[in-house]
Amino acid sequence: MKLEYQEITSLYERYGTMVLRRCRQLLREESLAEDAAQNVFVLFLRHRDRLTVEYPSSLLNRMATNHCLNLIRDARQENLAASAWVREVAQSQDPNPALEARSLLKKLFGGHEESTRTMAVLHLLDGMTLEEVANEVGMSVSGVRKRLRGLRQSLLEMEAK
């Protein structure tokens, strides 16, 4: 379904705040979140011919999540500080519980596909059902369940060490 410019403007007015909130939640730095939210709509506009816009809020939420997770991953890969908390994790020697949690998450997600991280965020953080997550990532419910089970197993193994 090809959306016209006017329809995209309407989607921005209706869902822009939701997208910005999601970007803030993941990036934790206002200027990065604002840029990321704008980029989500630029990506939406650029790829509108290929997108299925049956549920725009779900699509935009997933796009915002993926875009922000990609920014975080790219910053880590390039050893750039994409946000204040990435700099803290990279430079801190303090036994700060929040930093330790981030380090633990980095270790936990390190051995899993990026899409598994997205599934975990959608299901565990955003509260989406397995069915909703499956629809968002284009997998079966059993596939999502298997990925999340593998993630839980990794956590149990980390706790046992």
**Which is nearest to 84 in space by CA: 137, 33, 144, 122?**
33
Residue 76, pLDDT score: 67
* CATH number assigned to the domain covering 95-161: 1.10.10.10
Q: Are 39 and 67 in contact (CB under 8 A)?
A: yes
* Cα–Cα distance for residue pair 147/47, rounded to 1 Å: 28
Residue 79, pLDDT score: 42
- 45: exposed, middle or buried (C-beta count within 10 Å: 0-12, 13-18, 19+)? middle
Q: What does the pLDDT look like over 6-37, one tens digit per residue?
A: 777 888 888 899 999 999 998 888 888 999 99
Given a cut of 50, the residues of the chain with pLDDT beneath it are 1, 79-83, 85-86, 89-90
Q: Are 56 and 73 in contact (CB under 8 A)?
A: no
Residue 22, pLDDT score: 92
Residue with tokens 């007015």: 13
Residue 21, pLDDT score: 92
Structure token digits, residue 85: 């908390």
Residue 85, pLDDT score: 47
* Cα–Cα distance for residue pair 113/73, rounded to 1 Å: 12
Domain ranges of the chain: 1-91, 95-161
N-to-C CA span, the chain = 51
Residue 82, pLDDT score: 34
Residue 89, pLDDT score: 47
The number of helix segments (H) and strand segments (E) in the chain equals 8, 0
CA 154 → CA 2, 90, 126, 133, distances in Å? 42, 23, 21, 20
* Cα–Cα distance for residue pair 1/58, rounded to 1 Å: 16
Assess whether the region 1-91 and the region 95-161 belong to the same CATH fold.
no
Report the top-level CATH class of 1-91. Answer: mainly alpha
